[in-house]
Chains A and B, each alone.
Chain A
Amino acid sequence: MTLTAKALDERVGCLPPSAVPNEPPRRAGGGTNRRRWWLLACVAAVVASALPVVLDDHPVIRVDGLRQLVEFFAAAVAPRVDGGFLALVGASAMTTLAYAVLGTAVSLVIGVVGGVLTSQVWWRADAPARRTRDVVGWSLARVALVVPRGIHEVIWGLGLLIVLGRSPVVAVLAIGIPFGAVTAKVFSELLDEADRAPHDALLAAGARRSSAVLYGLVPSALGDLLSYAFYRLECAIRSATILGLVGTGGLGTELLDSFRALVYHEMWTLLYALILLSALADGWSSLVRTRLSGSRSRRRGSVDGRDPVVAGSVLLAAALVVASVWWVRLDPSVLWSDRSARQASMLAGQVWPLVMVDGGLAELLRLAGVTLAMSVLAMAIAFAVAAVLAVPAAALPQLDRVTASRARRLPVLLAARLTMIVLRAVPPPVWALLALFAFYPGILPGAVALGIYTAGVLGRLMTEVVDNLEGRPLRALSALGASRRQLVWYGVLPAAAPRFAAYSLYRWEVTVRETVVVGVVGAGGLGVLLHHQLNSFHFAQAATIVLTIVLLTLGVDFVSAAVRRSIR
């Protein structure tokens, strides 16, 4: 089975440099032409998305808001640092970390079980009589994971809040369920890709299916799974913060409270804590993944239990899980309490049958169009910012001679990397609230907020692409005396551009899902309406919107996958 480009992209970050998919050989002629058409289509999409903003005769920029923006950034140099507040920030940071850790742990459990159940190897008929059952089972398992994957953490959070009430379980499950569905997909592909021979040998010796998968396939997929889990932990910190904005507690909740009260210097303390937490998680995850890919290239795809960094990290993660349960006083009994059961049946009763939103299908489609346009603009912003940041942020380890110029460049490199960390550490709703200072509500502030945030994520992926480029062409250019700028234009960008495009297309789908998040603070599209409907307990209409978003996500996923296949 060949991996879809999407799955590879979802696993980005867990791949060792050597396994970063190389482009297959170019098809002569046609490829260039096709790429030109797609480029044209992209430009057309961006222009079409920007057109309503440009043509609208309402003012776009709020001049009076700019002063607030200046005030906000001026407060950066004077964060609130008194002991009492710092203690609160520390405790909130712990809560956010705890949610992220527990959410990742839950997602791993769902991912491993779901991954086995959605793998082809598990359902491969070994007796002809079971073939039909196997095909049905595999299809059901796949379908069962599509919906949780298409729904954003925040929507899970809002739904679970209604059912379970205020409980740490809400945040943990809101992260764990959608992350688990994605992890399941990745794990199933890892299992299906792994060498089947040891597994088949076990089946041939009479082992049951479960034991054969456990002994024959899991060990070889475990290293990649571990890598992926650490990558997801890093993502979970961001999700846990965003969930805080809908009231599950932690840094996000505090951030929103300070924002509402317009106490900027408190916000900055919280933002610094968030950036620090994010940077630590990024650093930890990169360290573990580098070690794992290092051990993989040394010794054919193994988890090297003897690597002290990896072993220590796994132990530390396990300890963090235990500590997190204690810190948030996780009480899973709300899951089977009478109240939760009543709320769940109430919610189910009100969600079904679905009710069309006020304004009918036309309004729904218009809002879907706005959401789509917002995501396209966001991606245009993200792509531009990320590409500009990624090149200076790359260390270019391919040019292995340590030169004086590299040391001189270090400040630039660190500045670019820090910028990207800040961009992705600040949750999109906070960017949206800031954007609402500068712009009148509409599609633009949402697009700017999502674009800035996505630039941080995308920039990191792009930096990895540049650092993993084939070294020989670059060394050749460098040997003939090319300056760094020439190296970038002649060596780096041409080679990296297709992967840049592929990652951007992949993130486009994620961004469509995330439009909900900026909608929560009123930045336009389906998200705003969803938020209104939920606040006024119109659950049936809310469900219609969620379904629309899932369908929109699937559509974008389909288009983006088709384009990626076509430009490869």
Chain B
Amino acid sequence: MAGDRVFELRRASVRLGGVDVLSDIDLEIEAGERVALIGPSGAGKTSLIRLLNGTVAATGGRVRALGCDYRVASTRKIRAARRRIGTVHQHFDLVAQLRAVHNVNAGRLGAWPFWKAALSLARPFEVASAEAALRRVGIGDKLRERTGDLSGGEQQRVAIARVLVQEPRVILADEPIASLDPARGREVVDLLFAISDETRTTLVASLHDLDIALGRFDRVVGLRSGRVVVDTSTADVRAADVAELFRTDRDGSS
């Protein structure tokens, strides 16, 4: 394992259906960093997140996550790496039909054998830790509710509780607040930072909200048309770079 390095991308590219989604990405993320991914819609933020957790395969270059090279590693190795990477998705991607407790426990599936996962659906295992996780995110009373019946904000909290019981070394968050109103969005960001603090977890989040990205994170990575065009600490980021990042073609090209 490469020391404290969490992610290492070398000239990583993703081509889907003849379109270059990501091109020649060089990126290193060290343990404990808090990185905000910013960029206009379609810049490739979600693809980059998926490249990091291995759900999208690089069509060129190399991606190492927690010392595991997705391209050549065995399925078992890949699963072991993924177990240490928790992802919070924009649309939560929870199973609406299951009770909250099962959706939280789903974070443990990587560690559980199949029989335990199956039995748990009949009578949930490790209820105490699931309930503690839900309490930590502020909805301890929703343990037995059907997930599809919860509000958007509550579902996002269930998704975060799932990551909590997963006990990952990295949390990836793909537009974690884009589906929420500003007040709830801020609460969710606070929660992610608090968790990252308590458990010393690396945090990588893609965001549309520049105030939060520049105000809370240590480092920003700006994507445009599938390329990294900004990569600096938030303290050093220049307004002109950010403006350039979000320039639309209508603004007139230079």
Q: Verify that A and B bind, or say they do not.
A: yes
State whether the Cβ of A205 lies closer than 8 Å to any Cβ in chain B: yes
Cα A223 to Cα B110 in complex, Å, equals: 26
Min distance, Cβ B113 to any Cβ of chain A, angstroms:
8
Min distance, Cβ B43 to any Cβ of chain A, angstroms:
21
A126, A200, A206, A211: most-surrounded residue (chain B CB, <10 A): A206
Chain A residues near B110 (CB, 8 Å)? 205-208
Known A211-B114, A219-B98; judge A200-B75 contact (CB<8 A). Answer: no
Chain A residues near B82 (CB, 8 Å)? 203-206
Q: Is the CB of B86 within 8 A of A205?
A: yes
Cα A197 to Cα B95 in complex, Å, equals: 9
Could you jot down 29 A-B contacts, CB within 8 Å?
A: A127-B75, A198-B95, A200-B93, A201-B93, A204-B82, A204-B85, A205-B83, A206-B79, A206-B81, A206-B83, A206-B84, A206-B110, A206-B111, A206-B166, A207-B79, A207-B106, A208-B110, A208-B114, A211-B117, A212-B109, A215-B106, A215-B109, A216-B95, A216-B106, A219-B97, A219-B98, A220-B97, A302-B97, A303-B97
Q: Is the CB of B94 within 8 A of A198?
A: yes
State whether the Cβ of A202 lies closer than 8 Å to any Cβ in chain B: yes
Min distance, Cβ A125 to any Cβ of chain B, angstroms:
10
Mark contacts of B105-131 with chain A using CB atoms, 8 A cut-off: 1 yes-contact digit, 0 otherwise. 011011110100110010000000000
A197, A200, A208, A211: most-surrounded residue (chain B CB, <10 A): A211
Chain B residues near A126 (CB, 8 Å)? 75, 78
Cα A299 to Cα B55 in complex, Å, equals: 29
Cα A270 to Cα B22 in complex, Å, equals: 71
Chain B residues near A222 (CB, 8 Å)? 97
Q: Is the CB of A205 within 8 A of B107?
A: yes
Q: Is the CB of B148 within 8 A of A206?
A: no
Cα A130 to Cα B98 in complex, Å, equals: 31
Cα A129 to Cα B69 in complex, Å, equals: 13
State whether the Cβ of B201 lies closer than 8 Å to any Cβ in chain A: no
Chain B residues near A219 (CB, 8 Å)? 95, 97-98
| CB-CB nearest 10 A-B residue pairs | A206-B110, A206-B83, A207-B109, A206-B82, A219-B97, A201-B93, A197-B93, A211-B117, A211-B109, A302-B97
**A 261-310 contacts with B by CB, 8 A:** 299-303
Chain B residues near A301 (CB, 8 Å)? 96-97
Cross-chain contact of B102 among A204, A215, A223, A303 (Cβ < 8 A): A215
State whether the Cβ of B27 lies closer than 8 Å to any Cβ in chain A: no
State whether the Cβ of B57 lies closer than 8 Å to any Cβ in chain A: yes
Interface size class of B (residues with CB under 8 A): 35 or more
Known A207-B110, A211-B109; judge A127-B74 contact (CB<8 A). Answer: yes
Cα A207 to Cα B166 in complex, Å, equals: 11
Cα A212 to Cα B53 in complex, Å, equals: 16
State whether the Cβ of B146 lies closer than 8 Å to any Cβ in chain A: yes
State whether the Cβ of A59 lies closer than 8 Å to any Cβ in chain B: no
State whether the Cβ of B216 lies closer than 8 Å to any Cβ in chain A: no
A207-B106, A216-B106 given. 5 additional CB < 8 A pairs?
A: A127-B78, A200-B93, A204-B50, A207-B79, A215-B117
Chain A residues near B75 (CB, 8 Å)? 126-127, 130
Q: Is the CB of A205 within 8 A of B95?
A: no
Q: Is the CB of A200 within 8 A of B55?
A: yes
Cα A201 to Cα B121 in complex, Å, equals: 18
- Give how many A residues have a beta carbon under 8 Å from the other chain's beta carbons: 31
Mark contacts of B159-178 with chain A using CB atoms, 8 A cut-off: 1 yes-contact digit, 0 otherwise. 00011001010000000000
Chain B residues near A303 (CB, 8 Å)? 97
Min distance, Cβ B102 to any Cβ of chain A, angstroms:
7
A126, A205, A210, A220: most-surrounded residue (chain B CB, <10 A): A205
Interface residues of chain A: helix, strand, loop or mixed (majority)? helix
**A 127-142 contacts with B by CB, 8 A:** 127-130
Chain A residues near B111 (CB, 8 Å)? 206
State whether the Cβ of A335 lies closer than 8 Å to any Cβ in chain B: no
Cα A208 to Cα B95 in complex, Å, equals: 17
Cα A126 to Cα B71 in complex, Å, equals: 10
**B 123-167 contacts with A by CB, 8 A:** 146, 148-149, 162-163, 166
Min distance, Cβ A567 to any Cβ of chain B, angstroms:
32
Q: Is the CB of A299 within 8 A of B149?
A: yes
Chain B residues near A205 (CB, 8 Å)? 82-83, 85-87, 106-107, 109-110, 162-163, 166, 168
Min distance, Cβ A14 to any Cβ of chain B, angstroms:
17
State whether the Cβ of B91 lies closer than 8 Å to any Cβ in chain A: yes
Mark contacts of A109-149 with chain B using CB atoms, 8 A cut-off: 1 yes-contact digit, 0 otherwise. 00000000000000000111110000000000000000000
State whether the Cβ of A214 lies closer than 8 Å to any Cβ in chain B: yes
Chain A residues near B39 (CB, 8 Å)? none
Cα A204 to Cα B85 in complex, Å, equals: 8
Min distance, Cβ B56 to any Cβ of chain A, angstroms:
10
Cα A198 to Cα B97 in complex, Å, equals: 11
Cα A204 to Cα B70 in complex, Å, equals: 12
Chain B residues near A299 (CB, 8 Å)? 148-149
Known A211-B112, A215-B117; judge A128-B166 contact (CB<8 A). Answer: no
Min distance, Cβ A41 to any Cβ of chain B, angstroms:
39
State whether the Cβ of B184 lies closer than 8 Å to any Cβ in chain A: no
State whether the Cβ of B222 lies closer than 8 Å to any Cβ in chain A: no
State whether the Cβ of B226 lies closer than 8 Å to any Cβ in chain A: no
Smallest Cβ-Cβ distance to A304: which chain B residue: B146
State whether the Cβ of B208 lies closer than 8 Å to any Cβ in chain A: no
Cα A226 to Cα B127 in complex, Å, equals: 28
Cα A189 to Cα B98 in complex, Å, equals: 21
Smallest Cβ-Cβ distance to B53: which chain A residue: A204
